[in-house]
């Protein structure tokens, strides 16, 4: 600034001298006390310019002398900053590379060089914390992250480190508290929402996770479709937890879950079961139909059969057809039609429906149904062949969700926590019983077989034994109670 002002002054003086020289007389008389000289105007102008240059040089020299201490201080400060940043860079690289000793060394060097309150102090604290992590010194890491979280502008980084260190120590409550504090900062970072939500689901804090999900949706941390599916799973998990102690609240939660995602079978099943138990079969029927239109599941067809117990085979077949028509091209709807044909003894129709399904992929469930068709026709040799195929055929994941007692979706907290992400983010159901090779409901235990067609010389004793078992299984099959999960 001083140099610019000085340059401007010199320009002004030069212009003034030039104007004066142009209008001055040829000879100039300069009179000073005790001194008088006569010269030309050009020479006088040159002398004045020379004098101005000398004054400017002297002024610049004096300014440099006065500014020298500041320059030395700034140079020293810059050198210190450069050394600190070099130590930070080397330390962070060492920490990421797993060199704990070098990271700790550079962290101490950076901390010594960085001044209190300078931007490098935050980086020095971060490096110290990372070095402690690399050295598995989580107590020191948490201490340093706590200090970093008190630095203005570094709160988020400090809280993230605290949450990670708490998880490493197994302190999930502490980690949740740190993640919650970070979430309250309302930053644009995604990790506070993701970490808090994950920690809540791991702790089976379903309703707390619902609140976090709602807040995350408002902030744009998750898209609407995923949020709706996650919400359905969370509400269902809470409903299954409360179905014994507070059926009314459980029903309300399950219904809300079906509104969030109509295609989530566990929600529709529980809502329908509770409504049926409360004497509202019409509402239960509407819930099942809505769910079937979106995503059919065999557990829903069991509930559909329980809506009107004791009805005739023809009436039941008609109602089954009504449900199948809600989503006629779906595999489960086609299987339903095949079961209805078996129940009414229309073996040819049943075979026509089931054969294309077998060609698409034979499963134990389909083979068992084809066995029933063959026995109904009186063809024991064919029935035995289908029985052998059923023993070695693949299982169906959806059917495996139903245990031998007819209970469905008997999930643990860890199952629900996993479902939140598989279904919430991808719309995919998990099947814990299928994964664990758990036994499932016998395919024919709920279907009463009509009398078999007579053949030339059938082994009627075996046929009667099979039909009797089927009848007993069918008559003994009662709709599972509302409280159909085993005691914890």
Instruction: Write the secondary structure of 276-340 as one string of H (helix), E (strand) and C (coil).
Output: HHCCCHHHHHHHHHHHHHHCCCHHHHHHHHHCCCCCCHHHHHHHHHHHHCCCCCCHHHHHHHHHH
Asked if 299 and 400 touch (Cβ cutoff 8 Å), the reply is: no
Q: Confidence band (pLDDT; 50, 70, 90) for 19? A: low
Where is average pLDDT lowest: 169-183, 198-212, 333-347, 471-485?
471-485
d(CA 16, CA 21): 8
| Per-residue buried b or exposed e for 193-222, using 16+ beta carbons within 10 Å of the residue's own CB | bbbbbbbbbbbbbbebbbebbebbbeeebb
Report the 10 Å Cβ neighbour count for 227.
18
Q: What's the confidence (pLDDT) of residue 453?
A: 62
Q: What's the confidence (pLDDT) of residue 157?
A: 86
d(CA 374, CA 391): 16
d(CA 283, CA 262): 14
Residue with the bigger pLDDT between 456 and 230: it is 230
The mean pLDDT value for 294-307 works out to 94
Residue with the bigger pLDDT between 32 and 418: it is 418
Q: What's the confidence (pLDDT) of residue 272?
A: 96
Q: Confidence band (pLDDT; 50, 70, 90) for 452? A: low
Residue range 232-284, pLDDT digits in tens: 999 999 999 999 999 999 999 999 999 999 989 999 999 999 999 999 999 99
Q: What's the confidence (pLDDT) of residue 144?
A: 86
Q: What's the confidence (pLDDT) of residue 310?
A: 81
Q: What's the confidence (pLDDT) of residue 125?
A: 78
Q: CA end-to-end span of the chain, whole Å? A: 81
The mean pLDDT value for 325-332 works out to 95
Q: Confidence band (pLDDT; 50, 70, 90) for 61? A: confident
Q: What's the confidence (pLDDT) of residue 70?
A: 64
Tell me, what DSSP letter sits at residue 221?
S
3-state class of 394 per DSSP?
Answer: strand
The mean pLDDT value for 29-54 works out to 68
Q: Confidence band (pLDDT; 50, 70, 90) for 467? A: very low
Asked if 204 and 180 touch (Cβ cutoff 8 Å), the reply is: no
Where is average pLDDT lowest: 79-88, 257-266, 455-464?
455-464
Tokens of 399: 């059917």
Please say if the pLDDT value at position 169 is more than 90. Answer: no
Q: Confidence band (pLDDT; 50, 70, 90) for 130? A: confident
Q: Confidence band (pLDDT; 50, 70, 90) for 223? A: very high
d(CA 299, CA 415): 18
Q: What's the confidence (pLDDT) of residue 87?
A: 61
Tell me, what DSSP letter sits at residue 197?
H
Residue with the bigger pLDDT between 104 and 380: it is 380
Q: What is the DSSP string of 335-386?
A: HHHHHHHHHTT-HHHHHHHHHHHHHH--BHHHHHHHHHHHHHHT-HHHHHHH
d(CA 470, CA 175): 55
| Per-residue buried b or exposed e for 59-95, using 16+ beta carbons within 10 Å of the residue's own CB | eeeeeeeeeeeeeeeeeeeeebbeebbebbebbbebb
Please say if the pLDDT value at position 423 is more than 90. Answer: yes
Average pLDDT, the chain: 81
3-state class of 115 per DSSP?
Answer: coil
Q: Confidence band (pLDDT; 50, 70, 90) for 390? A: very high
Q: What's the confidence (pLDDT) of residue 65?
A: 77
d(CA 54, CA 60): 10
Where is average pLDDT lowest: 47-56, 320-329, 461-470?
461-470
Residue 310 main-chain phi, psi, to 5 deg:
80, 5
The mean pLDDT value for 312-323 works out to 88
For CA atoms 289, 291, 296, 299, give the dihedral sign. negative
Rounded CA Rg of the chain: 42
Q: What's the confidence (pLDDT) of residue 420?
A: 97
d(CA 255, CA 268): 7
Please say if the pLDDT value at position 461 is more than 70. Answer: no
Q: Which residue blocks in 379-456 are alpha helix, DSSP H?
A: 380-392, 397-400, 413-426, 432-435
Share of the chain above pLDDT 70, in %: 73
Please say if the pLDDT value at position 145 is more than 70. Answer: yes
Long-range contact list for 479-483, CB < 8 A, 24+ apart?
479/276, 479/303, 479/306, 479/309, 479/406, 480/273, 480/405, 480/406, 480/407, 481/277, 482/243, 482/247, 482/273, 482/274, 482/277, 483/243, 483/244
The mean pLDDT value for 112-117 works out to 51
Residue with the bigger pLDDT between 50 and 218: it is 218
Q: What is the DSSP string of 25-92?
A: -SEEEEEETTEEEEEEHHHHHHHHHHHHHHHHHHHHHHHHHHHHHHHHHHHHHHHHHHHHHHHHHHHH
Q: Confidence band (pLDDT; 50, 70, 90) for 480? A: very low
Please say if the pLDDT value at position 457 is more than 50. Answer: no
The mean pLDDT value for 206-231 works out to 95
Please say if the pLDDT value at position 464 is more than 80. Answer: no
d(CA 260, CA 128): 46
Q: What's the confidence (pLDDT) of residue 17?
A: 63
Helices (H) and strands (E) in the chain, counts: 23, 2
């Amino acid at each position: 600034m001083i140099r610019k002002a000085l340059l401007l002054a010199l320009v002004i003086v030069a212009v003034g001298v030039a104007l004066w020289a142009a209008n001055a007389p040829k000879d100039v008389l300069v009179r000073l006390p005790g001194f008088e000289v006569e010269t030309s105007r050009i020479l006088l102008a040159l002398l004045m310019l020379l004098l101005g240059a000398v004054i400017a040089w002297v002024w610049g020299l004096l300014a440099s002398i006065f500014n020298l201490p500041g320059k030395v201080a700034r140079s020293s400060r810059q050198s210190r900053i450069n050394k600190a940043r070099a130590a930070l860079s080397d330390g962070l690289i060492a920490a990421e590379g797993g060199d704990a000793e070098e990271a700790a060394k550079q962290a101490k060097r950076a901390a010594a060089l960085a001044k209190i309150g300078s931007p490098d102090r935050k980086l020095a604290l971060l490096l110290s914390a990372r070095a402690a992590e690399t050295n598995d010194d989580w107590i020191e890491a948490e201490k340093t992250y706590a200090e970093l979280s008190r630095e203005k502008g570094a709160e988020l980084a400090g809280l993230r480190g605290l949450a990670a260190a708490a998880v490493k120590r197994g302190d999930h409550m502490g980690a949740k508290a740190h993640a919650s504090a970070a979430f309250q900062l309302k930053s644009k970072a995604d990790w506070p929402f993701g970490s808090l939500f994950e920690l809540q689901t791991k702790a089976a804090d379903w309703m707390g996770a619902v609140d976090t999900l709602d807040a995350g949706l408002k902030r744009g941390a998750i898209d609407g479709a995923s949020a709706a599916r996650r919400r359905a799973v969370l509400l269902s998990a809470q409903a299954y937890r409360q179905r014994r102690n507070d059926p009314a609240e459980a029903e309300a939660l399950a219904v809300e879950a079906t509104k969030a995602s109509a295609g989530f079978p566990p929600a529709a099943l529980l809502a329908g079961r509770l409504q049926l138990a409360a004497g509202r079969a019409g509402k239960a029927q509407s819930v099942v139909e809505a769910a079937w239109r979106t995503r059919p599941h065999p557990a829903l067809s069991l509930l559909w059969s329980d809506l009107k117990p004791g009805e005739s085979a023809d009436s039941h077949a008609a109602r089954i057809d009504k449900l199948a028509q809600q989503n006629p091209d779906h595999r489960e709807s086609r299987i339903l039609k095949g079961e209805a044909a078996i129940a009414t003894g229309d073996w040819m129709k049943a075979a026509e429906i089931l054969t294309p399904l077998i060609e698409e992929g034979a499963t134990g469930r389909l083979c068992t149904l084809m066995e029933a068709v063959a026995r109904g026709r009186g063809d024991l040799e064919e029935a035995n062949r289908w029985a052998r195929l059923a023993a070695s055929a693949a299982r169906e994941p959806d059917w495996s969700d139903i245990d031998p007692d007819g209970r469905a979706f008997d999930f643990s907290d860890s199952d629900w926590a996993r479902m939140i992400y598989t279904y919430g983010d991808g719309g995919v159901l998990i099947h814990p019983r299928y994964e664990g090779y758990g036994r499932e409901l016998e395919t024919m235990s709920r279907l009463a077989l009509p009398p078999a067609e007579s053949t030339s010389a059938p082994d009627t004793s075996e046929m009667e034994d099979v039909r009797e078992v089927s009848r007993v299984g069918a008559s003994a099959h009662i709709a599972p109670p509302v409280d159909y999960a085993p005691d914890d």
